[in-house]
Amino acid sequence: MLRSILLGFVVFCLGLAGFVGYRAYEFLSLPPAKPGQTKVILIEPGQSFEATAKMLAAEGVVRDADGLRLLARLTDKAGKVKAGEFEVSTGWTPTQLLDYLTTSKGVQHKLAAPEGLTMRQIAKLAEDAGLCSAAAFLRAASDPKLLAKYNIPAASAEGFLFPNTYLFTRKRGDDGAYVVEAMLKEFWRQAEAVWPADKPAGKELLAAVTLASIVEKETGVDAERPKVAGVFVNRLAKGMLLQTDPTIIYGLGEKYNGNITRSNLEDTANPYNTYVRPGLPPGPICSPGLKSLQAVAAPEAHDLYYFVSTGEGEHKFSKSLDEHINAVNKYQRGRGKK
């Protein structure tokens, strides 16, 4: 009788071991589906592996959440899974899945923001890239706490959103702060090349970025930027009006229809009208690039006060108003002066 019981027990244990072994083989070797389906998952920062495993099981990416947790614990990968957005497949084995989640950077969304764009234009690019809504971006770019965190001496991040190409892991919900913060961090990183010693702060920094934004809009030729900056520095020093069209255009906003009229030039209500208001405008009119910031930090020393486009991308610079009028007549037939 005892032998029969022992034999039965042994048979049961062997059967159980075989069943467990087969289930383990099935879990580790057979993906949930063939061919697999691509699934996009989002793992939040600080999310527990238990929650991640349950989410993956609910999405059909793994057969069993507890099995994935055990595998991750045995392979010491539970704490190495990264936060982010990932494209995974139901055709992967659990081992392939864990390898991917612990080594991949995940889905990266590109935001290409060239020099000379306004804050609103960058907000639209962020929306087009699927990172956040333009409204969320603008809220973050005007958040006093966020601006104070990055020592931005203005009511918005206009001018301080450094132009560059960025790669982002998209966050859940409509959050624009992480995009704005990345661009502000890049501004200060680039500031090391502009002001390697003492960096300006407060009103001095705002003035520098404002002037750089004007230089950015006035010329696309890098070699000209220090000379253009020198023209505006000379005008400011002499108490002359800056008389620069891009500031008027910025002040007009959506009212700008492609033409600057005489009434626009005479409009004293436009705070950015440098044809009637002395000194710099209230703030930057775009995001200047590195070359424009460097030009303002080290403007060319000369006795030039005017410049006009030659129509070929460059400018003709003049010392006197008479010289400038002649240059305007030659290159633009009286279309106006800078």
CB 115 within 8 A of CB 214: no
> Average model confidence (pLDDT) for the chain?
88
The alpha carbon of residue 332 and the mean position of all alpha carbons in its chain are separated, in whole angstroms, by 38
Residue 226 in tokens: 């220090």
Count CB atoms within 10 A of the CB of residue 328. Answer: 20
Q: Name all domains of the chain by residue range, CATH numbers in brackets.
A: 31-107 (3.30.1490.480), 109-194 (no CATH), 202-302 (no CATH)
* Unique residue bearing structure tokens 């704005």: 180
Q: Which of 87-101, 184-198, 205-219, 283-297 has the lowest mean pLDDT?
A: 87-101
Q: How does pLDDT run across 255-269, given as a tens digit for each residue? A: 898 899 999 999 999
Q: What is the pLDDT of residue 286?
A: 98
Region 289-301 average pLDDT: 97
Structural tokens at position 172: 């859940």
Least confident range of 37-41, 220-224, 321-325 = 37-41
Structure tokens at 160: 């301080």
What is the predicted pLDDT for the residue at 9?
45
Residue 6 has pLDDT above 60, yes or no: no
Q: Give the lowest-confidence range in 36-40, 115-119, 197-201, 238-242.
A: 36-40
CA–CA separation, 267 vs 260, rounded Å? 11
Which of 58-62, 269-273, 277-281, 291-295 is least confident? 58-62
- What pLDDT sits at residue 11? 44
Assign 336 a pLDDT band (cuts: 50, 70, 90): very low
Q: What is the pLDDT of residues 145-167, one digit of tens each?
A: 999 999 999 999 999 999 999 99
- State the Cα–Cα distance between residues 64 and 217, nearest whole angstrom: 58
pLDDT value at residue 40: 87
Q: Are 101 and 149 in contact (CB under 8 A)?
A: no
Tens-place pLDDT, residues 51-81 = 998 988 898 888 888 888 888 888 888 888 8
pTM of the model: 0.82
Is a pLDDT exceeding 60 seen at residue 221? yes
**Across residues 182-198, what is the average pLDDT?**
95
Q: Output the pLDDT for position 44.
A: 84
pLDDT in tens, 99-118: 988 888 888 899 999 999 99
Pick the most confident of 114-118, 306-310, 331-335: 114-118
Identify whether 196 is preceded by a cis peptide bond (ω within 30 of 0): no
Average pLDDT of the segment spanning 215-241 = 96
3-state secondary structure 214-273: HHHHHCCCHHHHHHHHHHHHHHHHHCCCCCCHHHHHHHHHHHCCCCCCHHHHCCCCCCCC
Q: Indicate the residue type of 5.
A: I
- Residue with the bigger pLDDT between 19 and 300: it is 300
The total of other beta-carbon atoms located within 10 Å of residue 77's CB is 17
